[in-house]
Amino acid sequence: MSRGTSREGPVLFTAEGATCIGIVHRPPVASRTGVVIVVGGPQYRVGAHRSFVTLARSLADAGFAVFRFDYRGLGDSEGEDPGFEALGPDIAAAIDAFHDAVPEVARVVLWGLCDGATASVLCAADDPRVAGLVLLNPWVHEEAAYERVLLRHYYRRRIVSRDFWRQLARGRVKFLDFPRLVIGMIGRGFKRAGEAVPARLADRFLAAAGRHAGPVLLVTSGHDLTAREFLDAVGRDSAWRAAIAAGRVRRLHVEEADHTFSEPGTLEQVIAATRDWLEGLDHSS
């Protein structure tokens, strides 16, 4: 099927014995750099409000081949969902299928949203074919960290709002949720004292990002607690701050955007930033 100057069509491939489906978007003359979109659950290859379709077609019309796919147990692919932390075989198989479909692509950029972004980082650390990463609102959720984000960015803002107190006076606000949150945090702190604590997801994210030598485009939303939690979790890491200062991590913050960039005009900002970043990556090689 054709659209404008680019073409798109289905590709079947195998990951860990399961048949998976992808859609390849191929321009008439493809850049040496191609993009593999890694879906965040519970979305599938189309994306929320068809955002991945829009992204793929826009990038293909700009000369970049794109591959979007359903990993195992998702959408139209067979098998059981392995979870985002175990998507390495699926992403590797998708890259293989992408190279077979568009042989002129010499290097791949992984583009992921939410836990798809985190899966991309974990995979890129061990796959030399991945030349760069585009990460949107990466998922590094930990219950205690999320509660701190709620206190810092949600309740603090609400408490100083006149509308909050009007709603409270009318019985429309469950203000008891606030002390329950604080008490719960304290209780979990006592419960975990002395226990062996597994490595935080944020720490694993940072370790994997440190092993990936390529450039990164980080996109965050202003109206998204997942983005807030990520920025809080990694913001104190000296290596991450150094990567930003050195220009290896380029940042775009879209203040008016929600988690999936469904607000008018926000997806267009992401697409434009991705295209410009990819063009810069092409020209640097």
Residue 284: pLDDT band with limits 50, 70, 90: confident
pTM of the model: 0.82
pLDDT tops 90 at residue 212? yes
Q: How far apart are CA 146 and CA 165, in angstroms?
A: 24
The pair of structure tokens assigned to 51 is 């955002």
Helices and strands per DSSP (H, E), number in the chain: 11, 9
Q: Which residue has the tokens 């998507």?
A: 87
Q: What is the pLDDT of residues 39-56, one digit of tens each?
A: 988 889 999 999 999 999
Average pLDDT over residues 79-86: 96
The residue among 14, 73, 75, 48 whose CA lies nearest residue 260 is 48
pLDDT at 236: 85
Confidence grade of residue 221 (pLDDT, cut at 50, 70, 90): very high
* CA distances (Å), origin 173, targets 16, 131, 163, 168, 178: 49, 48, 10, 5, 11
Output the average pLDDT for the chain.
86
Question: What are the beta bridge partners of residue 37?
Answer: 68, 111
Structure token pair of residue 232: 């809080």
As a whole number of angstroms, the distance between CA 254 and CA 223 comes to 9
Backbone angles phi, psi at 250, to 5 degrees: -95, 140
Give me the residues paired with residue 4 across strands: none
Sign of CA dihedral 137, 140, 146, 152: negative
Identity at 26, one-letter amino acid code: R
**CB-CB contact of 212 with 129 (8 Å):** no
What does the block give as tokens for 190? 């006592």
What's the rounded Cα separation, in Å, for the pair 285 and 277? 13
Instruction: Report which of residues 235 and 136 the model is more confident about.
Output: 136
| 181 vs 234, more confident | 234
- State residue 209's pLDDT score: 94
Least confident of 139-148, 210-219, 244-253: 139-148
Does pLDDT of 168 surpass 90? no
- Please report which confidence band the pLDDT of residue 73 belongs to, taking 50, 70 and 90 as the band edges: very high
87 CB neighbour count, 10 Å cutoff = 27
Asked if residue 235 has pLDDT above 60, the reply is: yes
Confidence (pLDDT) at 158: 53
Least confidently predicted of 169-173, 205-209, 276-280: 169-173
Q: What is the pLDDT of residue 5?
A: 78
